[in-house]
A and B are shown apart, each in its own frame.
Chain A
């Protein structure tokens, strides 16, 4: 089925995404600028140029981080 979704965990929360979605597509669906976040996919950092190539699978854990105020 084409519009089938899978569950992944994004920043600690479960989220349904289209099967075979790339990390770049995930960012786009969350309206996040890939230049403004760092993506960790199953504990491995995925650099910006590779975001379009790496696809998510059911059960994957994705962390999207950025800089915030701190001391």
Chain B
């Protein structure tokens, strides 16, 4: 008999013409050291791993590039435009990433506010349209707003990535209704990006029916990132499994599980 978890593992996720088997994607930022990062990514089972584009440190006081610690043949590297606050900057970073990288995928971020790191949806749409025209497969980080999500899909994005809560906040899924709504209305994959704090957050998020989750701080800032990565892997599979299984209806009153007949006098 095939178990639910096996079913989940077997159902591939298609984004921008490529197929992935893990629905958990992870970032590579903020780990205490590269070895912990490498082991956490391995424990997460992730295939898609995000990276950022930054200046080479010419004084060599900081660590070298991430590719010294991450096998680009083993993982699908998804470059982001993190830190960009205008569509022009985001396009510039995406082009540099494509040149440095191994694929035409980009996780597009256009940040509108430094305190909350919430997206600038107008800039996001402009950048998405420009990058799609240049042949990029755009995965757009956005807020949990249906109209923006629909416009990103219309712009040709390969996936739309609504947030669970602000980047690095660990507050979990604040708006399950809107995330569910976005998933119901979009044809492209919906990947929840940012805000998941612990395994239950990941599970509840996947139970909304979304196609996957991208997380970074939840692993990197855990006391034991490797153990948390394994917990997240199971939580994503459990949440996906529960979504596919179809949960029981909620009732306001108790319904006995044991028969009422055959009780002793």
Q: Which residue of B lies closest to A44 (CB)?
A: B95
Candidates A43, A66, A69, A70; contact of B56 at CB < 8 Å: A66
Candidates A38, A43, A64, A67; contact of B58 at CB < 8 Å: A64
Asked if A69 and B58 make an inter-chain contact with CB atoms under 8 angstroms apart, the answer reads: no
Within 8 A of B (CB), among A19-43: 30, 32, 36-38, 40, 43
Asked if B28 and A11 make an inter-chain contact with CB atoms under 8 angstroms apart, the answer reads: no
Between A and B, how many residue pairs show CB distances below 8 Å? Answer: 91
Query: Which residue, of A40, A43, A65, has the highest number of chain B Cβ atoms within 10 A?
Result: A65
Asked if B51 and A32 make an inter-chain contact with CB atoms under 8 angstroms apart, the answer reads: no
What residues of chain B lie closer than 8 Å to A63, measured between beta carbons? 55, 96
Candidates A38, A45, A71; contact of B50 at CB < 8 Å: A71
Given contacts A12-B55, A38-B100, contact A68 B95 (CB under 8 A): no
Q: How far is the CA of A12 from the CA of B50 in the complex (A)?
A: 25
Interface size range on A against B: 20 to 34
Q: How far is the CA of A13 from the CA of B215 in the complex (A)?
A: 34
Asked if B55 and A64 make an inter-chain contact with CB atoms under 8 angstroms apart, the answer reads: yes
Candidates A12, A37, A47, A70; contact of B51 at CB < 8 Å: A70
Asked if B99 and A67 make an inter-chain contact with CB atoms under 8 angstroms apart, the answer reads: no
Asked if B217 and A66 make an inter-chain contact with CB atoms under 8 angstroms apart, the answer reads: no
B39 within 8 A of partner (CB): no
Within 8 A of A (CB), among B21-61: 27-31, 37, 50-56, 58
Instruction: Taking A66-B66, A71-B52, A71-B194 as given, write out 5 further A-B residue pairs in contact, using a Cβ cutoff of 8 Å, ordered by the A residue number.
Output: A38-B100, A66-B100, A67-B52, A70-B29, A71-B217
Please give the residue numbers on chain A whose beta carbons come within 8 Å of chain B beta carbons, in ascending order.
Answer: 10-13, 30, 32, 36-38, 40, 43, 45, 47, 63-71
Please give the residue numbers on chain B whose beta carbons come within 8 Å of chain A beta carbons, in ascending order.
Answer: 27-31, 37, 50-56, 58, 65-67, 77, 79-80, 82, 92, 95-97, 99-101, 167-168, 194, 214-217
Selected A-B contacts with CB under 8 Å, 17 pairs: A11-B56, A36-B67, A38-B96, A45-B96, A63-B96, A67-B66, A67-B79, A69-B29, A69-B37, A69-B52, A69-B66, A70-B50, A70-B80, A70-B216, A71-B29, A71-B82, A71-B194
